[in-house]
A and B are shown apart, each in its own frame.
Chain A
Amino acid sequence: GAVVSQHPSWVICKSGTSVKIECRSLDFQATTMFWYRQFPKQSLMLMATSNEGSKATYEQGVEKDKFLINHASLTLSTLTVTSAHPEDSSFYICSADPGLAGVGDTQYFGPGTRLTVL
């Protein structure tokens, strides 16, 4: 149980285009999902917390107009990188909180999406 999927697993795009990444909890409902970014040889940096049916909460320094987050249902959150630039190239990982069904309230992570902006 507690499986989280992400789509696509990798994407290459041209500078200036927008890219949408989907995060789904497959066998549980998640009122809260998290989006992280990880640069090579660095740790995960939380970008934003996504709550179903309400606006996302962004971490300091993360541009909400550039990284659009939508959490339309209890099993799906999307991250759209708008007007992507090469410096946005990174590994984007989502996680979902299964609530009381989880172990120690741990978050379960998706497999990640590798974004490369040319």
Chain B
Amino acid sequence: DSGVTQTPKHLITATGQRVTLRCSPRSGDLSVYWYQQSLDQGLQFLIQYYNGEERAKGNILERFSAQQFPDLHSELNLSSLELGDSALYFCASSDLEGAAGVGTGELFFGEGSRLTVL
């Protein structure tokens, strides 16, 4: 158990719809990362938050957005869904925090949310 919790585990929806994926990082981790993994694709970095602020953006579509709340949980919002958005969405948190860089730099992954768009 990595300590990172993602809900829901599975989600089936239709094209054009909107869904929200939720992530709770490990206790004490301030950074949350979101990744997309499509069939036979590697990990595509979407976005990172650090203590409530957006820190880095990857290949995230404009139809997607995210936020990190004061309690450090994060939500990834996917709207106007298309068939190609079907994928595993992973959340991870990091133990490398602060200007001192304390920690090992490991990312701890949740089990993912599998989104199927029909």
Task: Answer yes or no: are A and B bound together in one complex.
Answer: no
Instruction: List the interface of chain A (C-beta within 8 A of B).
Output: none
Instruction: List the interface of chain B (C-beta within 8 A of A).
Output: none
